Amino acid sequence: MSRPITRRALLASVIQATGVAMLAPSFGCTDRGSLQALREELQTLRGARVVVPPLKGFRDLRGVIHTHSYLSSDSNGRPEEFLAGAQQAKLDYLVMTDHFDPRIFTEGLKGQYGDLTVISGAEFPLGCTRKRGVTRRCGSILGFGFSSSLAQTFSPDSYSKSELIAQIKRYGGLVFLGHARGVPNLQYFEMVHGMEVFNIADTMRERYLSVPGFMINLFATQQEYHEELLLSVIERPNWLLARWDQLTRTGHRFVGIGGNDAHQNLNVLGVLVDPYGLVYRILNTHVLVDVQDSESAASPSANIILAALSQGRCYLAFSLLCDASGFQFYAINPLGTPIAMMGDVWGYVPRSQLVVRLPRVGAIEIFKNGVPEFRTVGRELEYTPSGPGVYRVEVFLKLQRRWRPWIISNPIYLLEER
């Protein structure tokens, strides 16, 4: 979302910081003792993790979509900073989405940087739901993975929004709606590949009015518990999930992704509240890439990652709770043969089953057409679906006596044969 730099100086360093501030009380952390207890519980939770063998022919890649750098007016992040952040967060891929500036074509990073695949893209404003008022929200277009030849004729200011979307697609790019709650016109949902089901910056902004407990704790503990304090940003995105379910229920593939919206721009009295390394670890969009051929197994290229994203072979994971790598959700026929992966649109087969595997025990909830249909606690589940429908999974982990969202899968579309 475009935020003029004049608003940033005060808002970013004071109001946004106190906005982040209210996050802490929801976790009940008001002193070093309770933060230490939280840390220990988190270590126990992460320690119970096992390695899930990958599904044959696929590899699970961890990535971040929606990040800004100095090419955006509201960030000063240098390439060496976000590359180091990607390394800290153990990312396999990073999707850049600077507010559009022609320099993304000349200075923007793209390609392989060690083990990291950087995919270039841009964010474009899409309008707002209201002109004024506290509930004003602004949506955006996230376009990425387009060919660099787009630069020759690209003129976003002269296009209508639908022309802009078409142009990015024409050059091989994917288009997602960012800050999807602020998208002013429902027709845009029909033009794109998918939407952000979570946006970290929006979640922080929604919480403006609380007490500055976060900053007090951050300073009082000399940032020792920065990671634990940021855990409070993790919440179930109820509105966005309901909207997403409404769109997928028709059987039309519509891909859900995570939006980190990282800027590394909240500096309060010399303390960096949102360093790339930490914001990249809060939330990840994992993709399952096809590695049938040896070339893609060695170093998955941007094209293979983009193909998996466009097919919905991906899931969101709040990695700050626990690494979700290895999560599996697929359908098998009565003979036990996999027939559909996340994102696949497939004919419903009677007595087929949905398989869920986790790297640690969690509460697994199966949704059919947006409605919760089954819930259990475990590490593995084979579930017989109740008939044709659009099925997806959410997984929750218990921390400090509350179930926290951990994994949100893309749906498998098991449709009635026509």
Residues that bind Zn ion (CB under 5 A): 123, 261
CB contact at 8 A, 363 and 379: no
Residue with smaller CB distance to Zn ion, 71 or 395: 71
What is the distance between the alpha carbons of residues 299 and 5, in angstroms, rounded to a whole number? 38
Toward Zn ion, which CB reaches closer, 97 or 167? 97
* Residue 261 vs 365, nearer CB to Zn ion: 261
In this structure, the number of other CB atoms found within 10 A of the CB of residue 401 comes to 7
Separation between Cα atoms, residue 225 and residue 227, nearest integer Å:
5
Which tokens is 153 given? 């004729």
Rounded to 5 degrees, φ, ψ at 313 are: -85, 65
CB of 325 to Zn ion, least distance (A): 25
Q: Which is nearer to Zn ion, 60 or 261 (CB)?
A: 261
Matching residue, tokens 């982990």:
397
CA dihedral of 120, 124, 128, 132, whole degrees rounded to 10: 100
Could you tell me the smallest distance in angstroms from the CB atom of residue 3 to Zn ion? 9
C-beta closer to Zn ion: residue 125 or 370: 125
Give dist(CA 357, CA 376) in Å, integer.
13
Is the distance from CB of 117 to CB of 98 less than 8 angstroms?
Answer: no
Nearer to Zn ion, 180 or 321 (CB): 180
The C-alpha atoms of residue 153 and residue 337 are separated, in whole angstroms, by 48
User: Least Å distance between CB 29 and Zn ion?
Assistant: 28
**What is the Cβ-side half-sphere exposure of residue 292, based on CA atoms within 13 angstroms?**
1
Q: How far is the CB of 30 from Zn ion (least distance, A)?
A: 32
**In angstroms, what CA-CA distances link 245 with 177, 234, 356, 373?**
15, 20, 20, 14
CB 142, min distance to Zn ion, A = 8
Q: How far is the CB of 261 from Zn ion (least distance, A)?
A: 5
**Strand-pair category, 255-259 with 267-268:** unpaired
In this structure, what token pair is assigned to residue 24?
């802490």
> Closest CB to Zn ion among 69 and 328?
69
CB of residue 37 vs Zn ion: minimum separation in angstroms? 35
Asked if 291 contacts 61 with a C-beta cutoff of 8 angstroms, the reply is: no
CB of 400 to Zn ion, least distance (A): 31
Q: List % helix, strand, coil for the chain (3-state, nearest 5).
A: 30, 30, 35
Measured from the CB atom, the residue of 92 and 123 that comes closer to Zn ion is: 123
